[in-house]
Amino acid sequence: MLQLLTIMAWQPLDFGASFHTDDINFDGYLDFSVRTEYAASWESKSYWVYDAGSGLFVQNELTRELGENCFAAAHAHCWTSNAIDFDPKKQEIRTHHFGVGNTGCGAGADRYRVKNNRLILVHKEELTQSGPYLPRDCVVTVSELVDGTMRVTGIRRGDAPVRPVK
């Protein structure tokens, strides 16, 4: 036995079907996740990163942040674990979240970088609804990390392109 990991789940799960590898902290080593809970429109995963110093898979602040966000976001920006993309070229994590209920407002995407085993928000898309349940009634406010502060950089209404903010 190389390592024994305890995986807590609130319902029966198929470990093999939900086991997935990615380099989630962009250190060159494969890390892994496994589904621990699910429902019709969301799932929760637990994550482990490979620690080269110990030769073991560990959980840390980064893995906790990735695994807890669906519940911490109070469903307004609930990530589903299968809607988290790891981009090794940009060394960014993209999370997709649902819009304003089932209004046709679509979904937004936020981007994070990893620094000291923490997620650093670098791009945020905030969706709001300005009218009755039509895509044209949606407003997407885009913010970027600029000099250490999130700043609004553009606004998109409905399906129109993002309009820069001056």
Per residue, what are the HEC states of 36-97? Answer: EEECCCCEEEEEEEEECCCCEEECCHHHHHHHHHHHHCCCCCCEEEEEEEEECCCCEEEEEE
In this structure, is residue 44 part of a structural domain? yes
**Cα angle vertex 54, ends 53, 56, to 5°?**
125
Tell me, yes or no, whether 86 lies in a domain: yes
Domain assignment of residue 3, yes or no: no
The reported pLDDT for the residue numbered 78 is 46
What tokens appear for 109 in the block? 């995407």
User: Could you give the number of structural domains in the chain?
Assistant: 1
Between 21 and 38, residue with greater pLDDT: 21
How do 149-157 and 163-164 pair as beta strands?
A: antiparallel
Please state, in angstroms and rounded to a whole number, the distance separating the CA atoms of residues 98 and 82: 13
CA distances from 82 to 20, 35, 41, 79, 148 (A): 10, 10, 11, 8, 29
Residue 149 included in any domain: yes
* Residue 146 scores a pLDDT above 50: yes
Beta bridge partners of 125: 142
Task: Give the pLDDT confidence of 61-104 residue by residue, as tens digits.
Answer: 999 988 876 433 333 444 444 478 899 999 999 987 655 444 45
Which pair of tokens denotes residue 75? 């469903």
Residue 28 lies in a domain: yes
Residues β-bridged to residue 149: 146
Residue 10 located in a structural domain: no
Question: 38-42, 48-52, 84-88, 120-124: which has the minimum mean pLDDT?
Answer: 38-42
pTM equals 0.77
In a domain, 73, yes or no: yes
Q: What's the pLDDT score for residue 59?
A: 95
| Segments forming the whole domain that contains residue 141 | 15-164
Mean pLDDT across 46-68: 92
Is 109 domain-assigned? yes
**What's the whole-number average pLDDT of the chain?**
79
